[in-house]
Amino acid sequence: MLKVILVDDEIFVRKGMHELINWDELHMEIIGEAENGLEALKMVECLQPDVVITDIRMPILDGLELIRAVEKLPHLEPVFIIISGYHDFKYAQQAIRYGVHDYILKPVDDEEMTATLLKSANRISNKRKHLLLPEEQASNLILEDMIKGQVRKEDEHRYAEVLGIQCTSSLLVALLELQKGLAERKVTIEELRAAVQCLEVDLSNIFVIEQQSSRFALLLLWHEHDQEDSTIRDKLHDIHMKLSKRLNLDIGLYAGTLVKKIGDVPQSNQEAKEAARHKFAEEGGVVQYTEIKDKPLYVFNVYQDEVDQLILSLEEGNRPAYHKIVEDKFKLFQVNRFSPQAVTGSLMRSITGILAVAKEMGGNDQGLQQLKELAEQGHDGWNLRLLKNAFLHALEEAESYISLLRSEQSKGDIHKIKRYIDTHYTENISLKSIAALFYMNPVYLGRLFRKSYNLYFNEYLLSLRIQEAKKLLRQTDLRMYEVAARVGFQNADYFVTQFEKLVTFSPTEYRNRIKKNDQRGAR
């Protein structure tokens, strides 16, 4: 059984710990309790516990002072677990520097505490060496301190002990980006750590730190005998290939250079960040700082006529044309070494122009969802292939939406045109003159009219004129050439011909039939 001491100035917290944890199952027993650090120090000297669970804020001697005092005692290496109601990051940092195994906030969660105690038991059973077991990962706080350069020089040896860094080891920071574009799938840090542990790569260790939803930092411990440039490159490509396959995702791996000291880890991290800025300029998914450090990145001005040409081909529905424009554009991104920000800026100019076209046609952003998502996404989580494909799909969606808006707009226009014909049919109008009036192509107008009303334009115009002519023949004594002129015919003979075609007898016969019917009615 492992021996545990509880240190807290609040008795109900100590009593609660008795009830909260199943100590027997953990093969642990509470051998003592103390209400302040001084009392606990004497107890540690006397009882020599394996685990000390202590609060930070206590009278006489606080938790951190207790840890410092125990550290000076010979032949004692208890595992310290801090519990505190004070969510103060500075305390956590200090605690880690003194070798604290974990930092837990009150109220204590039984599952979290049980998991921490299990880790403590494993640590103790491994002869109290400050090394992590192969299947475990270093605390994010420790690793983040190292990457951010927040480790004091006098504390470097302790960090090295905790991480198992030998004096002959070198360290390298590589940023790992999961390139999934707009895909919903998320990879947890636990899933990535499991994948990393399954890698068969000859390295001392690989630690994983989560930075953003799609980006992680890897701290790689490198053997002394594997520090040739070609070996480093081969191993990075091996890691890239195996992780890509295991996670079934495109991956970007951006590596800094090897450093010997913990204090130099931030330098490797900055180099990895610089390598990441070249991700659209390099092929293969692995970018090393040593390969790009002397290569400049350029931000080219994208001329408006290039954007206009893309939008024009999109409006015309010329898919092959705008596909070629995009293919050429993305080749330019790589050949001319565009930075991620330059690529994003270039695409945003095109996206903004397309959104403006849709708005002018009465549309909105909802009809261009893929373009909208691309605009909001930024450049993280993309490689050029994924970005190009997503952009092309978004353009195809935009092409369909613009076509729909044009169709709806045309429907509105054709109703206006029909109302114009209904009002002006007695005038000298034609398909050509109306098309010019409404700024339309006459052939397109003719097809649109027939599609909308199932009649040719000339048939509809003729039917209106003949109906009005019949009315004039019934209600007036106008002569034929006068009737013809009144309803829009320039030639009386042509009027008669068209009347006979539609009514089956001449205008005169039509008028005479009406008169005969009137005479019969008079008798």
Shared domain check, 97 and 181? no
Shared domain check, 346 and 267? no
Tokens 């606990």, residue? Answer: 40
Distances (CA, A) of 419 to 425, 444, 447, 458: 10, 18, 17, 15
Shared domain check, 467 and 369? no
Q: DSSP alpha helices (H): ranges in 156-250?
A: 156-163, 189-197, 229-247
Shared domain check, 439 and 366? no
The residue out of 239, 264, 291 marking a domain boundary is: 291
pTM, whole model, 2 decimals? 0.56
What is residue 301's predicted lDDT score, i.e. its pLDDT?
A: 59
Q: Is residue 418 part of a domain?
A: no
Q: In what order do the strands lie in the sheet with 2-7?
A: 28-34, 2-7, 51-54, 79-84, 102-105
Q: Is residue 279 part of a domain?
A: yes
Check: CB of residue 184 under 8 Å from CB of residue 142.
no
DSSP string, 268-300: HHHHHHHHHTTTTTSSSSEEEHHHHTTPPPB--
Total tally of structural domains belonging to the chain? 4
CATH of the domain at 247: 3.30.70.270
What is residue 127's predicted lDDT score, i.e. its pLDDT?
A: 44
Q: Which of 271, 252, 267, 265 is nearest to 143 (CA)?
A: 265
- Kindly state the DSSP code that residue 259 receives in the 8-state scheme: B
CA atoms of 315 and 136, how far apart (whole Å)? 56
Shared domain check, 196 and 63? no
Distances (CA, A) of 335 to 243, 285, 309, 332, 338: 28, 16, 21, 5, 8
Shared domain check, 144 and 287? yes
Name the stretches of the chain with pLDDT < 50: 127-138
The residue out of 269, 291, 313 marking a domain boundary is: 291
SS3 of residue 483 by DSSP: helix
The residue out of 343, 372, 406 marking a domain boundary is: 406
What is residue 409's predicted lDDT score, i.e. its pLDDT?
A: 66
Residue type, 170: S
Residue 310: count of CB within 10 angstroms of its CB = 20
Q: Is residue 187 part of a domain?
A: yes
Q: Is residue 174 part of a domain?
A: yes
What is residue 132's predicted lDDT score, i.e. its pLDDT?
A: 40
Tokens 């008028």, residue? Answer: 511
| CB crowding 251-281: b at 16 or more within 10 Å, else e | bbbbbbbbbeebebbbbbbebbebbbbbbbb
Q: Is residue 415 part of a domain?
A: no
What is residue 133's predicted lDDT score, i.e. its pLDDT?
A: 35
What length is written for the chain?
A: 523
Structure tokens at 209: 């730190």
Shared domain check, 343 and 309? yes
Shared domain check, 332 and 400? yes
CA atoms of 132 and 160, how far apart (whole Å)? 11
Q: Which of 233, 341, 267 is nearest to 297 (CA)?
A: 341
Q: Which of 175, 129, 159 is nearest to 261 (CA)?
A: 159
Q: Is residue 442 part of a domain?
A: yes
Bond from prior residue into 107 cis (ω within 30 degrees of 0):
yes
Range of the domain at 365: 304-406
Shared domain check, 496 and 453? yes
Q: Is residue 157 part of a domain?
A: no
CATH of the domain at 12: 3.40.50.2300
Tokens 């890698």, residue? Answer: 199
Shared domain check, 115 and 13? yes
Q: Is residue 135 part of a domain?
A: no
Shared domain check, 257 and 144? yes
Check: CB of residue 402 under 8 Å from CB of residue 269.
no
Structure tokens at 394: 């978004």
Shared domain check, 435 and 331? no
